[in-house]
Structure 1
Amino acid sequence: MQRLQSYLDSHGIANWPHIKTHKIPAIAQMQIAAGAAGITCQKIGEVEIMAQAGLRNIFLPYNIIGEAKLNRLMELAQQIEISVTADSAFVVDGLAQAAQQHQVTMPVLVEFDTGLARCGVQTPQQAADLAYRIDRQSNLVFDGLMTYPLNERTDSFVQQTRAILEKDRVSVRRVSVGGTPQMWQAHEHPVVTEYRAGMYIYGDRYTLKSGAMKLEEVAFSVITTVVSRPTPDRGILDGGSKTFSSDLVGLDGYGLILEYPQARIYSFSEEHGHFDFSDCLEKPEIGERLTVIPNHCCSVTNLFNEIVAVRDGVVETIWPVAARGAVQ
């Protein structure tokens, strides 16, 4: 936590950590205490829970659509500082109407696509056109540009968009980018003003593969038990897809077993993890407890009610995952 905060501070980049990884208000408060400018949430349900816990500056980079969700968003805007994103006129017009009805002013960033092929406008001209549309609304404020992930296309897109907007004296105040794997390269992109990372708080097997974290820095693991050894080279863990999710994220197998790094978790049932240890010199026994670093910590967090915080083998606290399942 402190390492990323110090890095971003040293380069004048605001830290907006993504709480969808941990979903725990106490950790979000720790991130703010460490120096974060605010927090990032992915769904309104997460924002509501974090706001109830006292978080007061929240970024929600998502297209909010529909009367019910817009009403919830505007009620939050009357209580806390919140900004959102949009990538179409449909989203902007909905935000504008709701903001006017609730008599609030809503900062809106334009989301642009740098190649993920998810949400986001496709060209700088489209970004500028949407920024103009936001700027014309009496209850909206064009607040900048947002993308995920940070990559080699980011700077050029921002620079071209900014050049169009500057002709009409429309400024790009914020450039929000994200991605734990790319976080240590943020300073190489001069257009970036703020950074959103989520997985950095825990780390996982995907983060290890990216090189963003080392094994000794990973804080997130699942303790499992060998419940069966049907064959000499196959074992069954008491954790399956309902424990680890089914995320591969481009990796081979479903997790790293620290005690048997050559073993491979190759398949899941809902409550069973199937692992092969034919490449291991020593073989695990039934009843043995194994420590597994999952592929993707964000998905795993959302499957548990509690996270146990352990330091030097001693349980220091147990955090309820307050925003678990808050995806509405």
Structure 2
Amino acid sequence: MSFARIPIPFLTCRSLAWSTAKRTATTTPCEVRIVEVGPRDGLQNEPKLLPAATKIELINRLSGTGLKTIEATSFVSAKWVPQMGDNAEVLRGISKVRGISYPVLTPNIKGFESALAAGAEEVAVFGAASDAFSLKNVNATAAQAIERFRPVLKAAKENGVRVRGYVSTIVGCPYEGAIAPSAVVKVVEALYEMGCYEISLGDTIGVGTPGSMRRMLDEVTRAVPAKDLAVHCHDTYGQALSNILVSLDYGIRVVDASVSGLGGCPYARGASGNAATEDVVYMLHGMGLQTSVDLDKLIQVGRYICTELGRPSESKVNRAWKGPQ
């Protein structure tokens, strides 16, 4: 099936007001949903281990900023990801706010069962477009990793739990180099057909440029509608915001971001964290787009967690901010 892209010459709210097919009733072309991944994707790649109480406080503060989706933790083995060893304590300890989703990462059925027992209502599974990256990450090829998700999707459906999918290394891999868009399409289509309601496209090592993003999105959006896609851009080469702008051109209206740019990638030397949520929100608001996020409050949360980590914020907006402009 083909889903045609409608090119737009100027990325403003007015120019984004065109309609993409079957857009969800709660989202308009001028709205962008931010998926805050700092508490999971960010903290799991920070060298300093924080206590559960600090993680709970971080999520609770993020809940007060207007964010609608906050990835809370990951139900993976503490042996491999010690930063997430307190996953159940964190998920049970946060003050859940009506209208906010708190998804958790579950790499296999064991992780799903643990997450369900801790009260998870949404989970995420992750695959890679690169076999080499997948083997280093989960000791399985891309195709083998996807097969492991089938029991998770089945159990999730039986328990009324929504599942989000991640696809990493969408344009580049630290082991294979450039990734063919066709390889990304295979994984995206598999996750979509298995029942993932949304699929996040991750530039895991931050090597993407507007050119490589366009080449990838040209093919992916022919296979899956843009309304069911998100982007997850790391900022290693300073291209994250540019790549997010490209995704808006294709009708994508969901963006993953990490408060103050927390995180990185343990399997990719030198990879920096996700696009900083503060920077993404500032850019989107400057374009006249709606996010529901209070930037002042978000900046204060970024400063809080960076103080707890003993590190500076990677957000340029956070460093420069002096108040509403």
Larger Rg: 1
Higher RCO (CA 8 Å, separation ≥ 6 residues):
2
Structure richer in strand, relative to its length? 1
TM-score (norm 1): 0.47
Structure richer in helix, relative to its length? 2
